[in-house]
Every structure is written in C-alpha cells, then in structure tokens.
Amino acid sequence: MSVHPSARIHPSAVVEAGAQLGADCVVGPFSVVGPEVVLGEGCVLHSHAVVVGATEIGPRSEIFPFASLGHKPQDLKFRGERSRLTIGADCQIREGVTMNPGTEGGGGLTTVGEGCLFMAGAHVAHDCRIGNRVIFANNATCAGHVTVGDFAFLGGLSAVHQFVRIGTQAMLGGMSGLERDLIPFGMAVGDRARLSGLNVVGMKRRGFNHSQVLELRGGYRRIFEEPEGGSLEERARAALEAAPENPALREMAEFILAGGDRRFCIPAT
C-alpha cells in the first residue's frame, strides 16, 4: 500500500494493501478501497463509498455515499478478463452512482473525462467513453459501449442504448430513451427520442457568437428540416460547404460522416 502521509483514512474504512492514495486524500467512514485502486491527490470519499478493481481516479474528485465504482461489468459475456475504469480530475460522483470497467469486447476500458457531474443514481456501463464536463442528471443511464462527447447533458431518468454516440454539447431530455446517434449540439426528447432542434442555450454559454449559431441553424435545417434529396451524408457535406469555417457545423458534419453502429436520431415526421 502506498499512502501519502497527508492522506486521512477513517478508522472504520478499509483500504486494502496495494492501493495508492495521493496527497490530501480523504477516505470516510465505512468506505472501501480495493488493492488496485489509485486515487489522485485531494480525492475525497465520503462515508460508505466503494472503489474496487483496476480503477484510477484523478485529482480532486469527490465520491459520495453509496457510490460503487469498479465492480465487474453487468455483462454475461464477461469472464473475469483484465479490465479497467479511469475517471478524470475534478469529477463529482454523487450518491448511489455506479460505474463498471470494460470488457474484452470493448477494449477492456471504461473512461470518464475531467470535470464531470454524475447526479444521484446515474450509471455508466462497461466500455463507455465519457468526455469532459459532461453532466448526467439523476438516474441517467448509459448501456455498454456508449460514447458521450464533451459538455453533453443527459436529463434525469434518461436511458441510452448500447453503442450509441452522443456528440459534443448535445442534450438529451429527461425521461427520454435514446436508441440512435445524437448529433453534436443537437437536442433530443421523447419516449423513443427524436431530434428536436439545437442546444442553443448551451452554445451561448460556451461563447459561440450569434453568427456562428445562425450558421449552425442553417446547416441543421439543410440537413434535417429542408432536405432536397440525397443521403444524410450528402446533405451534411453540402451544409458544410455552405459554411466551411464554422467549427460547430464542421463537428456536426464530421460526426455524421464518421458513421457508427446505430442509425441517426432525426426529427419526428
């Protein structure tokens, strides 16, 4: 066990031999830290938090009661192969959140970026790739192999199907079920979620100017609302050609052109 002298461990906590705790870490009452866990400096585990497996958590992240991080994946194909979970710096992981490591079929790794907020009851399944500054509201859940871009927001009680991609700063409404890829900056809502426009408020909060938002709206309409024939990919190329210097439109078009395992989330007809 490698524990920095400044780390504070409550007498009732269990920190197993082999665990690594950085400077100023706090492990609260009745919490459990497994033998392969690495906690960066300043991490805080409140009472009754459990971190096990080959799990690494970045500096200053905060784990609240009854969170369970690193237990084996909820996948019947899992046979005990080596797998990992990595969580970036400055994350807040609230009460009852669960996160699982990867499986052999997904590269053996689940990753969470920096500065994320996972509200109570949220779930990140095996082999997910979660970006930076992502927010999962209460009880938002991702099935296996889901990719979530930076600054995305998943509303409360939402659910994401396995292998779905969610783009940068996309927003999924509360109580929505997402079965298809959601474009960057897009908004989706519904029992079987459909595209409902752009996350304009989020873009403005991140500093996109008025002309950039207008250009992206024009590209969105060209692709989804006023199609003049051709495939989705062809319309995405045409929209990008109309405003090639717009970074948000470029990201949206490249997301569509990259494709994935799922169909795209589109507006309801």
- 88: annotated active-site residue: no
Closest to 66 measured CA to CA, from 87, 48, 53 = 48
Percent of the chain exceeding pLDDT 90 equals 96
Dihedral of alpha carbons 238, 168, 269, 180, sign: positive
Q: State yes or no: is 145 an active-site residue.
A: no
- Residue-wise pLDDT for 38-56, tens only, equals 999 999 999 999 999 999 9
Q: For the chain, which residues make up each domain, given as ranges? A: 2-145, 203-258
Q: Which of 123, 126, 145, 161 is catalytic?
A: 126
191 as an active site residue: the answer is no
pLDDT top residue among 1 and 214: 214
Rounded Cα distance, 166 and 125, in Å: 15
Active-site pick, 75, 90, 127, 150: 127
The reported pLDDT for the residue numbered 227 is: 63
Q: Above pLDDT 70, what percent of the chain?
A: 99
Catalytic site residue from 40, 144, 149, 155? 144
Strands 186-189 and 194-198: antiparallel
Give every strand in the sheet of 92-93, ordered side by side.
8-9, 26-27, 44-45, 62-63, 92-93, 117-118, 135-136, 153-154, 171-172, 186-189, 194-198
CATH top-level class of 2-145: mainly beta
Determine the average pLDDT of the residues in 130-138.
Answer: 98
Average of pLDDT values for 112-126? 98
